[in-house]
């Protein structure tokens, strides 16, 4: 099987973030604050705490590397994310920042690598960026996310 990271070499601009599955986002954020000396304003929550969601996210940066904490809340996402090769908790995926997500996917398709996992229908537009997960069944089990930011954020 072709390694998607080799195919993506011409498209990757850098690491976007490292995603971690956590069972309790509030507890994980409290630990991150303690370990990394983060303040409340250093954390971005999606959705805001207290809002209902199938999945909760918290983002923060340490030494220029962005971390994404993911708490699966709904049964569907608990079943999907906690059954991943990572064993549920811990590092779940690496997100690559790419310069042209559609071209990268077209190139990957030539090698039988396609979207899947939590984005089986392909690229999702979320606010100012586009993202897609690659199907782990076509990547030898690797969980890889691609993100394309607007040109001004890539500079």
Give mean pLDDT, residues 100-115: 93
Q: Give the model's pLDDT for residue 155.
A: 43
Q: What is the pTM of this model?
A: 0.79
Q: Give the model's pLDDT for residue 1.
A: 66
23-53 pLDDT, tens digit per residue, is: 899 999 999 999 999 999 999 999 887 788 8
The string of DSSP codes covering 106-137 is HHHHTTT--B-TT-TT--EEETTEEEEEBPGG
The string of DSSP codes covering 34-103 is HHHT--GGG-EEES-TTS--SEEEEEEEETTEEEEEEEE-SHHHHHHHHTSTT-SSEEEEEEEEES-HHH
Give the number of other CB atoms < 10 A from CB of residue 88: 15
Decide if 133 contacts 117 (C-beta within 8 A).
yes
Using CA atoms, how far apart are residues 118 and 81, in angstroms rounded to an integer? 9
């Amino acid at each position: 099987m072709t390694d998607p990271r080799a195919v993506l070499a011409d498209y990757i601009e850098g690491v976007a973030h490292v995603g971690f599955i956590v069972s309790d986002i509030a507890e994980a954020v409290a630990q991150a604050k303690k370990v990394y000396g983060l303040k409340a304003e250093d954390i971005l929550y999606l959705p805001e705490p207290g809002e209902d969601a199938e999945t909760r996210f918290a983002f923060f940066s340490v030494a220029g590397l962005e971390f994404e904490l993911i708490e699966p809340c709904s049964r569907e996402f608990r079943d999907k994310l906690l059954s991943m090769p990572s064993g549920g908790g811990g590092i779940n995926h690496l997100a690559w920042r790419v310069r042209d997500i559609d071209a990268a996917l077209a190139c990957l398709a030539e090698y039988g690598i396609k979207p899947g996992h939590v984005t089986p229908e392909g690229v999702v537009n979320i606010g100012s960026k586009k993202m897609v997960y690659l199907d782990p069944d076509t990547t030898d089990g690797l969980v890889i996310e691609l993100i394309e930011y607007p040109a001004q954020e890539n500079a």
